[in-house]
Structure 1
Amino acid sequence: MQKKFHQILFSWIPFSFGDLLYIILIAVIIHCIVTCFKKKSRHNAFIRLLIMMNIIYFSYQIFWGMLYFQNPIIDKLPKGKITLNDRKDLALHYLEKCKNSRELVKENSDGVFRIGDITSIENEILKEQNKLPAFITNKKNDHLNSFKPSLFKDVMSFTGILGYYNPFTAEAQYNSRLPSSYLPFTLAHESAHQLGFAREQEANFIGYLAGKNSGNPDLKYSTEYFVLKSLLNSIVYEDEDFVKAVLEKYSAAMKRDRAFEKRFLLEHQGWLDHFFGFTNNLFLKTNQQEGSVTYSYFVELLVKYEK
């Protein structure tokens, strides 16, 4: 109910109101901290700061934090272990799917995948979310488009953050500077948070379910490409030669997309990337998640669902 109210309240605003809210909050907090160092107003400023921080934390827990305690999706899937061969077979399957779907998308002048119409992707995600398997979830969206390009896109490019969900405004924020191969699945992931899936890897899984059978070629390719990369990341430390062989089998177009992704990441590496990677890892672990360094839970969900 709260999410729907927030979406109605903020979705019509053409820019990210959540980002603006964060800018105001940061400015107020800095002002309070500076005031704490002044003798005359130190006590009152410190009390105000504590009250404000508690209100923010309490609101976060009410709007979002409690969702981390939902029953995990893994409980709804078959039991049993996943073998290395299971992941290899699925990686080869998705390699062929990616090759086929890559042929259906548009390219820029350098032969790199480019998105056609981002609004059609957003609407497609909302449509596909209402087709999710009933045994996985009965959550439904309200077809309110509340995707917003973040005001912090330049900073986000240097932090490794692709997007984020703002629980105070129910906006799905994304970095509009991302390579097109990242962007559609990032939208699907952040919209999964809007739907009420707090855990990062479960949001990946819901994003995958929304994109795998999509009639939108951009969303379908980006989803399948994310799945393939996730499977290869889960295999590389166990069989590096297999991963190298799969990468060699990428189509020429997929290789161009991969090279562009690598250039983008290389151009935006720096201390901010390491800092935000470290702090995000801590945040995920404090919210009963695996951390940002592993895809294992998503891959487990994926393989068990596909099997």
Structure 2
Amino acid sequence: MLIKKSCTYSKKRFWAGLLLAQFLLFLILSKVNYAIKVFESFFEIQKRIHQQIFFKIPFSVGDVFYILLIIIFLFFIYKIIKKSSRKSYSLKLLILLNILYFTYQLFWGMLYFQKPILEKLPEKEINVEEVKALALDYLELCKQTRTLVREDHNGVFIISNTTLIKAEILRNQMKLPFHLNNKKGTGILAFKSSLFKPIMSYTGILGYYNPFTAEAQYNSTLPSTYIPFTLSHESAHQLGYAKEQEANFIGFLIGKDSKNTDLKYSTEYFVLKSLVNYLVDKDEEFVKNILEHYSPEMKRDRLAEKVFIKKHEGLLDVFFGFTNDLFLKSNQQDGSITYSYFIDLLIRYQ
């Protein structure tokens, strides 16, 4: 009997079947509210343990883990191509995929099926005129806050102190309205500059959450307008908000009334850009008018963003945009280039 078990576990079809069984199991669990609540509760424990373990290490442990995974995958593929070792390493690859998939779903994947924040807000239809009015309000807010931040020698917004922004984000996590947020912040500073930042600039990815280490990575070479809100967005993932537009909304709540002017300006500027992007195919003239009425300081910031994006355009940007879009849609999200859900949350909240 022991011999039969050993033979079973050493067969590729067993591990392929197990992987398929996992897909089906987690698909079924994603439809069960009680199961989702169990995963949410487990996440609260897991995130604190992981952040306590990894936050003192000055570099991104999650990135090192990804680098090692890439090396292992490339090695396995090389061995699979060689006929003499194909069977053995095909089996090892399937075992590794089973472990990674199970760990990912346990630590993070099932959080995509949580009760949407939208259900916690009053029902309201999106009215284009209301969105326009909000865009005008945020234009004025941005103009006012922009006068309070520092500039570099080119007159472009520059962050005063990134550490102070991170600390402010953690404080503001504790002030989130309870009727919208039932998750607890750890108070642990687990933000890391990504080891992949030279590549990230060419991908359009501003930051990402590592589900295996609970670290929040960001591209520290981005224009300063991006960085504070990116940190706020990734901190929302650390709280346990998996969906991108919900993380944007929680990031907005964290930054909107911040005493840190860098975070406040970056948040207001993100909201304004989101409103403008939502309106661009609904009233192009209105959007042009908004852009024309940016303050001179805001126009310099916008130009700096455009120069950065233009400098880093290429195939990687297209590739990662496409793959990220597929990933989001596979997790019941609308894709990477959508603002409607965030705008819906914003309007209902306002």
Q: For this structure pair, what is the TM-score category when the shorter chain's length is used for normalisation? A: over 0.9
Taking the TM superposition and a 5 Å limit, the aligned residue runs for 1:104-119 are 104-119=148-163
Shift of 1:37: 2.1
Letter in 2 for 1:254: M
Listed one character per residue, the Cα deviations across residues 150-192 of structure 1 (whole Å, up to 9, x for unaligned) are: 0000100000000000000100000011000000000000010
Q: Which residue is equivalent to 1:229?
A: 273
Name which of 177, 189, 201 aligns with 1:133: 177
SS in 1 for 2:185: coil
Q: Which residue is equivalent to 1:211?
A: 255
Listed one character per residue, the Cα deviations across residues 186-230 of structure 1 (whole Å, up to 9, x for unaligned) are: 000001000000000000000000000100000000000000000
Q: How many residues align?
A: 306
Q: Is 2:131 aligned against 1:83?
A: no
Taking the TM superposition and a 5 Å limit, the aligned residue runs for 1:106-185 are 106-185=150-229
CA distance in 2, matches of 1:92, 1:136: 26
Name which of 304, 311, 318 aligns with 1:260: 304
SS in 1 for 2:224: coil
Q: Which residue is equivalent to 1:43?
A: 87
Listed one character per residue, the Cα deviations across residues 11-66 of structure 1 (whole Å, up to 9, x for unaligned) are: 11000111111000110111111111223322111100000011111100000001
CA distance in 1, matches of 2:306, 2:256: 24
Single out whichever of 134-143 and 144-153 deviates more from structure 2.
Answer: 134-143
Q: Note the residue ranges of structure 2 that are not aligned, 5 or more in a row.
A: 1-44
Name which of 51, 54, 68 aligns with 2:112: 68
CA distance in 2, matches of 1:124, 1:166: 21
Shift of 1:253: 0.3
Q: Is 2:283 aligned against 1:239?
A: yes
CA distance in 2, matches of 1:301, 1:257: 27
Name which of 78, 100, 110 aligns with 1:56: 100
Letter in 1 for 2:299: K
Q: Which residue is equivalent to 1:25?
A: 69
Listed one character per residue, the Cα deviations across residues 258-301 of structure 1 (whole Å, up to 9, x for unaligned) are: 00000000000000000000000000000000001111100110
Q: Note the residue ranges of structure 1 that are not aligned, 5 or more in a row.
A: none
CA distance in 2, matches of 1:136, 1:36: 49
* Percent pairwise identity: 61
CA distance in 2, matches of 1:265, 1:36: 39
Shift of 1:80: 2.2
CA distance in 2, matches of 1:25, 1:262: 34
Q: Is 2:34 aligned against 1:12?
A: no
TM-score (norm 1): 0.99
Q: Which residue is equivalent to 1:34?
A: 78
Greater Rg over alpha carbons, structure: 2
Letter in 1 for 2:71: A
CA RMSD of aligned residues (A): 0.6
Letter in 2 for 1:221: Y
Shift of 1:124: 0.3
CA distance in 2, matches of 1:75, 1:138: 14
TM-score (norm 2): 0.87
